[in-house]
Structure 1
Amino acid sequence: MTLALAVRYDRTTIILHWLTAVLVAGLWFVGQTADYLPEDSLIQNIVWSSHVTTGFTLATILIFRIFWRSTSGVGLPAADSGALHALAKATHYLLYGLLVITISLGIANAFIRGYDLFHLFKLPQLGVKDWKKPVTHWHELAANSVLIVAGFHAAAALVHHYVWRDNLISRMALRAR
């Protein structure tokens, strides 16, 4: 299977894609490691505050990304046909859905806990404190699911690039103007 997929996504779509990927990876890493910091320390507050504020930033970027994709982004012809196209499309929708769920649960978690952000501002504590553990658990599960599906997405892109050599990765490559 050798196709020449030279068409590229528009610059905004590419930037939003890679910004989302970097933020998701960074947020996941912090979420996995921040509890190893000394409890109730300034550094832990800074790290968790950064996680929460970056999560709110990702929410804004995701909303803009969905808006951009549905109104202004360049639509490209499918790289595959048949079952592979259906699988790729389902994977993209699954990623968007999981991102929405993960971010929503993260925002809910931030307000259930009433996070103290950088010891400068405290989010209002909404909801029942008993929700803290289940919402945290679901947020972690959703975040791990995002990483798994994103890994599958990246692996598929690498198969296109190294096995099928169809130039698919160049559609989403960042390049200087």
Structure 2
Amino acid sequence: MNPLPLSGDAGSPTRYDTPTILLHWLTALLVVGLFALAQVWDALPRGTPTRKLLQSLHVSFGLLFAAVLAARIVWRWTAGRRLPRASGGFWGLAGSSMHVLLYVLMAAQVVLGFLFRWAQGEAFTFFGLFDVPTLIHIDREQRRAIGGLHDTVAWTIIILAGCHALAGLAHHYWLKDGILRRMLPWR
């Protein structure tokens, strides 16, 4: 298959700007890491020190994820973000829709994470440096429902992020259109 040119015209960049690339890969790393922590501690017996440590790390990295996601959303909506011109048609719409869906799910996951931690009534700290205050009281009986939603949204994000990654690889290796190179940290 012949390589397709990068999308964009003479006035449009062919790569994302450095902050967008860094926020993208930091988000990906945090999503996968948070998911992995939850899967590992779930296999451990309740009450063990290792399980508690992994849960504490999950909460701390979850708070970091919330900050990175907020920064990413603010950056996405500012004029500072330079974008390559998006492709049109059905596939352009599908790609844009996937991004919006991932943002919505990640934001929902942050909210569910806060609600779930508050429903547990346990300490909510950031790497032991400071505590996050409880802003609203969540009934402990709602904890199971919130936890179930948090788990379902996590799996949905992982599946969609996997599809997103596969699409990037398909663009790179099959379509050879340069889409993946726009987001790689190296040139």
TM-score (norm 2): 0.86
Cα drift, residue 3 of structure 1: 2.1
Provide the rounded CA distance (Å) in 2 between the counterparts of 1:41 and 1:126.
27
2:117 and 2:124 in contact (8 A); partners too: no
Structure 1 residues 122 and 58 mapped into 2: Cα distance closer, same or farther (>3 Å)?
A: closer
Q: For 1:1-177, what aligned pairs fall within 5 Å after superposition?
A: 2-5=3-6, 7-71=14-78, 72-78=80-86, 80-116=87-123, 124=134, 126-175=137-186
Structure 1 residues 122 and 150 mapped into 2: Cα distance closer, same or farther (>3 Å)?
A: closer
1:115 and 1:123 in contact (8 A); partners too: no
Cα drift, residue 69 of structure 1: 0.9
TM-score (norm 1): 0.90
Provide the rounded CA distance (Å) in 1 between the counterparts of 2:39 and 2:122.
18
Provide the rounded CA distance (Å) in 1 between the counterparts of 2:16 and 2:43.
40
Structure with the larger helix share: 1
* Percent of residue pairs identical: 33
1:15 and 1:174 in contact (8 A); partners too: yes
1:9 and 1:75 in contact (8 A); partners too: yes
Q: CA RMSD in A?
A: 2.1
Code of the aligned partner of 2:85: P
Structure 2 gaps of 5+ residues are 7-12
Provide the rounded CA distance (Å) in 1 between the counterparts of 2:123 and 2:114.
14
Cα drift, residue 126 of structure 1: 2.7
Provide the rounded CA distance (Å) in 2 between the counterparts of 1:105 and 1:46.
21
Deviations 1:40-65 (A, max 9, x none): 12222111011011111101110010
Instruction: Tell me the matched-pair count.
Output: 175
Code of the aligned partner of 2:184: A
Match of 1:116, SS state, is coil
Provide the rounded CA distance (Å) in 1 between the counterparts of 2:54 and 2:181.
35
Cα drift, residue 122 of structure 1: 8.4
